[in-house]
Every structure is written in C-alpha cells, then in structure tokens.
C-alpha cells in the first residue's frame, strides 16, 4: 500500500503546483483585462489561450441572466474552483497518501497546511500540533 500512498502524495504535490501556476495565470489575466492590452501580444495571447476554454465552458453552464453580467461571473467561478481544489482536494489526497503509507500519526499531528512545509512546499508553518 505504500506505493499507492507515494503515488497519491506525489500526485497531490504535482496537482498543488499545477493549480498554483494556473491560479497565477488567472490572476495575470485579470490584471491584463483591467487595461486595454494589444491582442497581438504573445503574453496576452497565451493568457487568453490558457484560460478561455475553461472560462467559456463555465460561462455556457451559467444561467442566461448571469452570462452578460457586468462582472465576469464565469471567471470568478473558475478562480473559486481552483482555490477550492488547492485547499480542499489537494490536502485530502495528501492525507490519504500519508495514511496509506502507514504514517497516520504523522497525518494527524501535522497542522493545516504544514504538509506543504514538510515536503518543501509553499507553507511556512512548521509547527506540529498534538
């Protein structure tokens, strides 16, 4: 079972980095949308190419009265989904991997977010709780 645990831990860490990168791409798209960007700029093209398919899919699922709202609700939904995945799904995958690996006491002793610091992630919370 430790192999499956290692795979879940590795998958959780990779998913966390991918979602973090995508979160920053979404933030960059939001900042770019506040100005009048040149649509031929390669950076602007990349930002829209990376985010528009997902935003367009969410926009199609929204009710008609929210599609043409002055604020892009679909973008906010995508951003909220990325945040939920980073702080809801990734820690759950990591905890499941730690438990499968046989370190249940480690999973219980780590405080929220400390698993990232333990494995070299972005959190700075190194404390363990009892």
Q: Please report whether residue 7 resides in a domain.
A: yes
Q: DSSP characters for 54-79?
A: HHHHHHHHS-HHHHT-SS-HHHHHHH
pTM confidence score: 0.76
Residue 123 lies in a domain: no
Give me the number of domains the chain comprises.
1
Q: Is residue 9 part of a domain?
A: yes
pLDDT in tens, 25-46: 999 999 998 998 899 999 999 9
Give dist(CA 42, CA 45) in Å, integer.
5
Evaluate if residue 19 carries a pLDDT over 90.
yes
Residue 34 in domain: yes
Q: Does residue 128 fall inside a structural domain?
A: no
| Domain assignment of residue 105, given as a range | 2-118
- Confirm whether 58 is domain-assigned: yes
The residue with greater pLDDT, 34 or 124, is 34
Assigned domain for 127 exists:
no
Neighbours of 10 (CB within 10 A): 14
Contacts 24+ apart (CB under 8 A), 28-33: 29/75, 30/75, 30/79
Give the pLDDT confidence of 54-104 residue by residue, as tens digits: 999 999 998 888 877 788 899 999 999 999 999 999 999 998 888 888 765
Task: Name the band, by pLDDT with cuts 50, 70 and 90, for residue 3.
Answer: confident
Q: Is residue 41 part of a domain?
A: yes
């Amino acid at each position: 079972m430790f192999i499956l645990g290692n795979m879940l831990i590795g998958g959780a860490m990779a998913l966390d980095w991918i979602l973090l990168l995508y979160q920053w791409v979404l933030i960059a798209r939001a900042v770019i949308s506040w100005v009048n960007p040149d649509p031929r700029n390669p950076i602007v093209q990349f930002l829209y190419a990376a985010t528009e398919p997902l935003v367009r899919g969410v926009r199609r699922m929204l009710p008609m009265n929210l599609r043409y709202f002055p604020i892009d609700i679909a973008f906010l939904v995508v951003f909220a989904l990325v945040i939920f995945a980073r702080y809801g799904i990734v820690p759950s995958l990591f905890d499941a991997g730690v438990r499968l690996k046989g370190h249940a006491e480690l999973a219980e002793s780590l405080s929220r977010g400390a698993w990232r610091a333990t494995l070299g992630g972005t959190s700075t919370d190194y404390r363990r709780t009892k």
